Structure 1
Amino acid sequence: MLMRFGLGALGLGPREFWTMTPREFDAAAKGRLGLFNDARALDRAGLAALNEKFPDRAAS
């Protein structure tokens, strides 16, 4: 049942599915089903912090 949901509803490939942790699968499933009640929108300060922590690399 989980494999059917992962490959079908989530659109994962077999390699992606089998390398996911249970926590990652749970988050993907909840996101797909719209079950995240605690998710907040990212504000400008949060986006700026993420951009600083994980800057885009120039394509080479």
Structure 2
Amino acid sequence: MIGLDWRGLMQAGLHGLRLTPDQFWALTPAELQIMLGLTQTSPPMGRDRLAELQTAFPDVDKENLDG
């Protein structure tokens, strides 16, 4: 897994884009990438990957849980 350069991202967001801290932390990584003009670093999720995630993390009906 690749780590994020938080210092660089914060500097670009707070100083380069002149965002307030609240505005910066409210952004998603994708929104920040778009605002900075960066290209997408990973391909969009395909159906197979979505199916894997749905199997690994199924939706839970909290109203019908026993216990």
- Higher RCO (Cα < 8 Å, 6 or more apart): 1
* Structure number, greater radius of gyration: 2
